[in-house]
Amino acid sequence: MCTRPQVLGLDVDSETRCRHYRSENDRIAIRFYCCGKYFPCFACHEAVGCDNTAVWPIEQFYQKAILCGSCGTELSIREYLDCASACPHCSAAFNPGCSLHQHLYFEV
């Protein structure tokens, strides 16, 4: 059995929800380009992450950097951006509102 990556942040639950985002569909974590660690959101990274925030460059979108909080599958950035707000492995719904924050994580 594979061990899930550690997800850092504030009040993180078993499906990667945090103090800032707690709806039923808030179930992903993002591995930040700057530090290589998983956080549920940009606010958690600001609170307990590194002080050197950087976004993923387009040429790195093949990297596994999204964690499904339901099944624990790590998705590439491209898989995540193309998944229509559902995990391609377990079909768990992701919050479609996360697309409003893409610029905080990925080069757009």
pLDDT digits (tens, 9 = 90+) for 17-33: 999 999 999 999 999 99
Angle in degrees, CA 76, 80, 83, rounded to 5: 130
Say if CB 33 and CB 56 are below 8 A apart: yes
Model pLDDT for residues 64-100, shown as the tens digit of each residue: 999 999 999 999 999 999 999 999 999 999 999 999 9
Cα dist from 99 to 1, 11, 66, 84, 105, whole Å = 31, 23, 13, 10, 10
pTM of the predicted model as reported, rounded to 2 decimal places: 0.95
| pLDDT of 1 | 53
